[in-house]
Structure 1
Amino acid sequence: MEAGQMKAAVFKGPGKMELESRPIPVCPDPGVLIRVRFCGICGSDVRNFANGLKGGVTNQIMGHEAVGEIAEVRGSIPFSVGDRVALAPDVHCGKCWYCKRGLVNLCENHRMLGTHFPGGFAQYMALSQEQIEHGFLEKIPDALSYEEAALSETAAAVVACQNRLGITVGDTVVVIGDGPVGCLHVQLAKSRGAAQVILVGMDRLALAERFHPDLLLCNRDPEAVVEAVLRATGGRGADAVIAAVPAASVQQQGLRMLRRRGTLVIYGGVPQQAALSEMDSNQIHYNELTVTGAFSYPADGLQNALAALCSGKIEAGRFISAVVPLDAILEGFDMARRGSSLKVLVDLWR
C-alpha cells in the first residue's frame, strides 16, 4: 500500500462491492481521524448491499458498526490521539421539532455514516465536529476489547428498546427472531429479571440455544407456536412480544401471543413493498393491546450499550461467530446472509 493510501470496500450498486485503494481522508478542522480496527456486518448492511442504499447512493464506503483508535485530532475536540473509540452511524440535525425535544432518533433530517457519509469498511474514517456533536462517538472502557466493543452499536438499539418497554422482574417476554438482535434481546431480558423468555426462530436455533431461552420454538408452524406460547403462560399470553424479524407476517402472530394490555414491539423494518401488515383491530381494541415501533436509540444510547457490555449484562464474545479480513468482506457478507453466523466482524488490518 502506498504512503497516504488506505484500503476500502466500496459499494458500487446492488450486489456490487469492490476493494479500492483510496487516499486516507484529511482530518477535519475541527474533527478527528480514526484508524478503524473492526467493523461489524449488520443485517441492514446485507439488505442494502442486495437492494441498494437509501436514495440510490453508490460509490460509497458502507459499514456503521465501527471501532478504532483516534489517529489525529484538530481543534477543540474532547478526544486525544490513541483513545479507543466506538461509533454509531446516526447524525441528527439538532434543529428539527424532534431534536429540540431530545428525540434525536426521530430526527427529520436523519443522516448516517455508511450511507450519507463514508463508513467503517475502510482503514480510516474522518469525523467532523458536527458529526461528533450530533452523532455518536464514545471512548471504549478499558475492560472491553475492540472486538467486544464492535457489538455496541447493535446493542444500543436493543437496550433502548427494552428501557422504553420497561422489561422488569417477573415479566414474560417473547422474542421473534433468532439472529444477533433476537439473541441480544433474549440475553438482556434475562439480565433484567424477566421470569420467562421465549425465543421463536427458524434457521439459527442451534446458535440461539447458547443464550438459554426458557423455551425455544421453531416458527415453521406459526399456529403451533402461538399455542405453545399460550400453554407456557397458562393461557394468559406474554407481557411483551418483540418482533425482531424483517417480515410483516410475524406481527399478527405476535398479537395473538400477548396477554390483555400486553405490548407488541415492531423492531425490524421490512422491505417497502411489503410494509403493510394485516392486524386484527378487534383484538387490539378489546384486549387493550399496545402496538409500537422501536427505532435506533437516544443520545446516550451508545454509552448505555457500552455500560451493558462492560457489566456483563450482554456478553459480546458469545455473539461473535467469525472475523474476516477486508479482502474477504464479500465472504463475510455471504456468511451473514446465509445465517450460518450470528455476528461477523471485518478486521481492517489483517
Structure 2
Amino acid sequence: MKAAVLVTPGRFEVQDVPRPEPGRDEVLVRITRVGICGTDVHIFNGHYAAENLPMIPGHEFTGTIAELGEGVSGLTVGDPVVVDMNIGCGTCYWCRRNEILNCPEMQQMGITMVGAFAQYISVPARLVIPAPQEVSAEVLALTEPLACVVRCARKAGITFGQSVVVLGAGPIGNLHVQLLRTIGAAPIIVADLSEDRVNMALEVGADVGITDPDDLEQTVLRHTDGRGADVVIESVGLPTLYQQATRLIRKGGHIAAFGLTGAGETLPIDILQTILQENSIKGSVAGMGQDMHDALTLLTHDRIRTDRFTGASYPLNGIQEAFDSISDRPGDLKTQIVLTHEPRREENYDC
C-alpha cells in the first residue's frame, strides 16, 4: 500500500509499505480522509515526537471497514467508521477512569505508533465507532478534534451562563467557540492576532472578538462586570498567554490548559492568591472514549458548522505541499488528505 512517511523533520516520502493484516480483535480500516492536526504540524517541524521518526503520522481519520480480524463481532465490512486514536491497556486504574493518556502502556496512533496517512491501518476493534452513512467523510474526519474540545469543556465543568475567554481562534479555538455556544456559555470572548480568524469565530458564535493584545484584559473586565472570566481556555500553547490567563479569570475562576507548549515550559503562579481566591487550572488535550461518541453525535446532528473546515484537501502524493503551505493558508481552518473517495450515494425516491 501507499503511505506518507515523515523521514526527517520537514520531509515526507510517499512509499510502498506492507499492508497491515488485522490480528485477533483488530479491524483493518481502508482510510478515506485524514485531517492535519496542529500536533502533526509540530511533528513535521521536529518539535514533538522527533525520536519516533521515521514514522507515518496522522490520527484525525475516517474510513470504511475492509476486513475483520479473528474474534471481532458487531462490525460489518464496508461500514464507515471513526477511530479513537488512544490505546491504553484497558484494565489499569487510569483506563478504568477514561484517563487513558496516563496509562503506563498508552500508545497513540500517528504519534507513538503507525498512523493514518496511509491507505490502510489496523486498529483494535474496541476503538472503532460505526458512523452514519449519511454523514460525509470530510465531516467524519472532524470527530477526533471535536472530541478533544468536548473533553476540555467536560474537564473544565463549563455550563450555561458562564463567561469564557478563548485564547486562539485557529481550528481548535473555533471549535471551542462553537461548542461553548451549544452549551450556553455567555459571553464568549475570543482573542487572536488574526482578524480573519477572529471574524470566523464571531460568525459561529463568539460574542466579542479581540485582535489587540493590549486591549484584552480591559475588554474581558468590561464584558464580565469587572470580575474577570469564569473560565479561560488557552488554545495556542504560549507560556506568555498562560501567564495572561491568570489575570483574566475572576476570583474562583478556572484556567483550562489546552494548548501544547514546549517541553519544560513553566507557569509562575502566585500560590497564596491561588489559595485565597480558590482559583484552579486543569489540563486537557485529547478526546477519548465517550468524548468521541459525543463528538460524533454533535456532528451527526449538525450542532457544529463545518463549512470552514472542509474546503482544503490534497491527495496523498500532495502531502508535502499540504504541510509546506499550511501556515500560508489561515483561512483554511482544516486541511485534509484524501486517500480514497467516498462511493457515490444513490438517491432513493418513493413514488
Please, what TM-score do these two structures have when normalized by structure 1?
A: 0.90
Cα distance in 1 for residues equivalent to 2:112 and 2:155: 28
User: Does the CA contact (< 8 Å) of 1:67 and 1:150 recur in 2?
Assistant: yes
Q: Is the Cα–Cα contact under 8 Å of residues 66 and 88 in structure 1 kept in the other structure?
A: no
Give the CA deviation at 1:121: 0.5
Deviation at 1:208, TM superposition (A): 3.1
Instruction: Quote the offset at 1:302 in angstroms.
Output: 0.9
Is 1:64 the counterpart of 2:59 in the alignment?
A: yes
Aligned position for 2:302: 312
Does the alignment pair 1:224 with 2:210? no
Once the two structures are TM-superposed, the CA of residue 18 in structure 1 deviates from its matched residue by: 0.6
State the match for 2:187 in structure 1.
196
Displacement after TM superposition at 1:80 (Å)? 1.1
- Percent identity between the aligned chains? 34
**Aligned partner of 2:321 among 295, 312, 331:** 331
Q: Does 1:89 align with 2:81?
A: no
Q: Is the 8 A contact 1:93 1:99 kept in 2?
A: yes
Tell me the residue number matched to 2:144: 153
Determine the C-alpha separation between the residues in 2 that align with 1:72 and 1:33. Answer: 5
Q: Residues of 1 paired with 2:48 and 2:164: CA distance?
A: 33
| Corresponding position: 1:115 with 2:111 | yes
Structure 1's 325 and 206: CA in aligned 2 closer, same or farther, altered over 3 A?
farther
Pairwise mapping of residues 253-264 of structure 1 onto structure 2 (< 5 A)?
253-264=244-255
| Structure 1, 47-56 or 109-118: larger mean CA deviation | 47-56
8 A Cα contact 2:177 2:201, kept in partner: no
Q: CA deviation at 1:347?
A: 0.5
Which one is further off, 178-187 or 17-26? 17-26
Task: Identify the match of residue 94 of structure 2 among 81, 98, 107.
Answer: 98
Alignment partner of 1:214 is 2:204: no
What is the rounded CA distance, in whole Å, between the counterparts of 1:97 and 1:166 in structure 2?
A: 22
- Asked if 2 retains the 8 angstrom alpha-carbon contact of 1:335 and 1:344, the reply is no
Tell me, in whole angstroms, the C-alpha distance in 2 between the residues paired with 1:46 and 1:171. 32
Kindly state the Cα deviation for residue 53 of structure 1 after the two structures are TM-superposed. 5.1
Distance (whole Å) between structure 2 residues aligned to residue 44 and residue 230 of structure 1: 33
- Name whichever of 287-296 and 48-57 sits farther off: 48-57
Tell me the distance in 1 between the aligned counterparts of 2:274 and 2:328.
35
Matches within 5 A, 1:1-350: 6-51=1-46, 54=49, 56-77=51-72, 78-127=74-123, 131-133=124-126, 136-203=127-194, 204-218=197-211, 220-221=212-213, 223-273=214-264, 275-338=265-328, 340=330, 341-349=332-340
The amino acid across from 1:76 in the alignment is: G
Q: Secondary structure at the match of 1:187?
A: helix
1:39-82 deviation digits (Å, cap 9, x = unpaired):
00000000011116526112321100110001111222131110
Matched to 1:178, the amino acid is A
Aligned residues: 337
CA contact (8 A) 2:43 2:50 kept: no
Letter in 2 for 1:262: G
The 1:276/1:46 distance shift into structure 2, 3 A limit, reads same
* Counterpart residue type for residue 98 of structure 1: W
Q: How big is the shift at 1:189?
A: 0.4
SS of the residue corresponding to residue 251 of structure 1 reads helix
8 A Cα contact 1:9 1:61, kept in partner: yes
TM-score, normalisation: structure 2: 0.90
Contact 1:61–1:118 (CA under 8 A) maintained in structure 2: yes
For 1:19 and 1:199, the matched residues in 2 are separated by 39
Q: Which residue in 2 is equivalent to 1:3? A: none
AA matched with 2:242: Q
- With over 3 angstroms needed to count, the CA separation of the structure-2 counterparts of 1:285 and 1:321, relative to structure 1, is farther
Q: C-alpha distance in 2, partners of 1:299/1:214?
A: 31
Moved more, 336-345 or 12-21: 336-345
Change (3 A) 1:79 1:56: same
Matching residue's letter, 2:301: S
User: Cα distance 1:132–1:32, how it changes in 2: closer, same or farther (>3 A)?
Assistant: closer
CA contact (8 A) 1:46 1:337 kept: no
SS in 1 for 2:61: strand
Counterpart-to-counterpart distance in 1, 2:324 and 2:221: 37
Amino acid corresponding to residue 205 of structure 2 in structure 1:
H
Shift of 1:336: 3.1
1:253 is displaced (CA, Å) by 0.8
Structure number having the greater strand percentage: 1
**Secondary structure of the residue that 1:60 maps to in structure 2?**
coil
Aligned equivalents of 2:102, 2:66: Cα separation in 1: 32
Q: Measure, in 2, the Cα distance between the counterparts of 1:29 and 1:281.
A: 51
